[in-house]
């Protein structure tokens, strides 16, 4: 018997998808800018990690299933 996987709000709500996509874009910008001393450089790895934690928490509030999928990647 196969388990049917429920779709999270990311896949069923356009506003949630748009917000999560924006958060992930912000994180990608933070990653790309780290250490460049540019406009979006957060300065330190600690500041970057704090920003990522904040993003994760916001995503968790929007779609717990999507959040679980991204924290699995953090553990690898």
**pLDDT digit string, tens, across residues 11-39:** 999 999 999 999 999 999 999 999 999 99
Rounded CA separation 3/45 (Å) = 40
Confidence of residue 72 (pLDDT cuts 50, 70, 90): confident
Which pair of structure tokens corresponds to residue 41? 């450089």
Which pair of structure tokens corresponds to residue 6? 């429920």
Confidence of residue 5 (pLDDT cuts 50, 70, 90): low
Indicate the pTM of the whole model. Answer: 0.85
Give pLDDT, residue 4. 57
């Amino acid at each position: 018997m196969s388990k049917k996987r429920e779709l999270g709000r990311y896949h069923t709500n356009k506003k949630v998808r748009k917000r999560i996509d924006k958060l992930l874009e912000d994180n990608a910008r933070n990653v790309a800018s780290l250490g460049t001393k540019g406009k979006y450089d957060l300065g330190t790895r600690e500041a970057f990690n704090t920003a990522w934690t904040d993003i994760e928490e916001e995503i968790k509030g929007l779609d717990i299933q999507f959040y679980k999928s991204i924290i699995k990647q953090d553990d690898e």
